[in-house]
Chain A
Amino acid sequence: MSGVLELRGVSKTYHDGADEVHALREVDLAVEPGRMVAVMGPSGSGKSTLLTIAGALETPTDGEVLVAGQPLSAMSRDDRARLRRRAIGYVFQDFNLLPGLTAAENVALPLELDGMTAGKARAAGMRALEDLGLADRAGRFPDQLSGGERQRVAIARAVVGDRRLVLADEPTGALDSANGEAVMRMILAACKRGVAAVIVTHDAQLASWADRVLFIRDGRVVDRTAPRPGPDSLLSEEAAR
Chain B
Amino acid sequence: MSIRHALLALLSEGPKYGLQLREEFEARTGEVWPLNVGQVYTTLQRLERDGLVESDDDADPGPQKGFRITADGAEELAGWLRTPPDLASPPRDELVIKILVAVRLPGVDVHEVIQSHRRYLVELMQQWTRLKEEEADLDIGLALVVDAELFRLDSVVRWLDTADGRLKRAALEPPAPARTATPLIRRRAGVRR
In angstroms, Cα B151 to Cα A209, docked, is 14
Known A42-B161, A42-B165, A202-B161: A235·B31 in contact at CB below 8 Å: yes
Contact of B157 with A by CB under 8 A: yes
Q: B131 is contacted by which of A205, A222, A223, A231 (Cβ under 8 Å)?
A: A231
Tier of interface size on chain B: 20 to 34
Task: For the complex formed, measure the closest distance between the CB of A34 and the CB atoms of chain B, giving whole angstroms.
Answer: 14
Name the B residues within 8 Å of A202 (CB-CB).
Answer: 161
Name the B residues within 8 Å of A231 (CB-CB).
Answer: 127-128, 130-131, 134
Contact of B118 with A by CB under 8 A: yes
Task: For the complex formed, measure the closest distance between the CB of A121 and the CB atoms of chain B, giving whole angstroms.
Answer: 32
Contact of B133 with A by CB under 8 A: yes
Known A42-B165, A202-B161: A228·B126 in contact at CB below 8 Å: yes
Q: Which of B111, B115, B123, B158 counts the most chain A CB atoms within 10 A?
A: B123
Contact of B46 with A by CB under 8 A: no
**CB-based contact B154/A204 at 8 Å:** yes
Task: For the complex formed, measure the closest distance between the CB of A39 and the CB atoms of chain B, giving whole angstroms.
Answer: 12
Q: Is the interface of A mostly helix, strand, loop or mixed?
A: mixed
In angstroms, Cα B8 to Cα A131, docked, is 46
**CB-based contact B122/A207 at 8 Å:** yes
**CB-based contact A213/B122 at 8 Å:** yes
Bitwise, A204-225 to B at CB < 8 A (1) or not (0) is 1101111001010100001111
Name the A residues within 8 Å of B134 (CB-CB).
Answer: 231
**CB-based contact B130/A228 at 8 Å:** yes
Task: For the complex formed, measure the closest distance between the CB of A238 and the CB atoms of chain B, giving whole angstroms.
Answer: 5
Name the A residues within 8 Å of B123 (CB-CB).
Answer: 225-226, 228
In angstroms, Cα B126 to Cα A224, docked, is 13
Name the A residues within 8 Å of B128 (CB-CB).
Answer: 208, 231, 234
Name the A residues within 8 Å of B131 (CB-CB).
Answer: 231, 234-235
Q: B121 is contacted by which of A42, A204, A217, A224 (Cβ under 8 Å)?
A: A204
**CB-based contact A208/B118 at 8 Å:** no
Bitwise, B39-60 to A at CB < 8 A (1) or not (0) is 0000000000000000000000
Contact of A230 with B by CB under 8 A: yes
Nearest-CB residue, chain B, relative to A241: B34
Known A228-B127, A234-B128: A208·B150 in contact at CB below 8 Å: yes
Name the A residues within 8 Å of B153 (CB-CB).
Answer: 204
Give me the interface of B with A, judged by CB distance under 8 Å.
Answer: 31-34, 111, 115-116, 118-119, 121-131, 133-134, 150-151, 153-154, 157-158, 161, 164-165
Given contacts A213-B119, A235-B32, 18 further A-B contacts (CB under 8 A): A42-B164, A204-B121, A207-B122, A207-B125, A209-B129, A209-B133, A210-B126, A215-B115, A222-B115, A223-B116, A225-B123, A228-B123, A231-B128, A234-B124, A234-B127, A238-B32, A239-B32, A239-B34
Question: Please, could you name 20 A-B residue pairs with CB atoms under 8 Å apart, sorted by A?
Answer: A42-B165, A202-B161, A203-B154, A204-B153, A205-B150, A207-B122, A208-B122, A208-B126, A210-B126, A217-B111, A223-B115, A223-B116, A228-B123, A228-B127, A230-B130, A231-B128, A231-B134, A233-B127, A235-B32, A239-B32
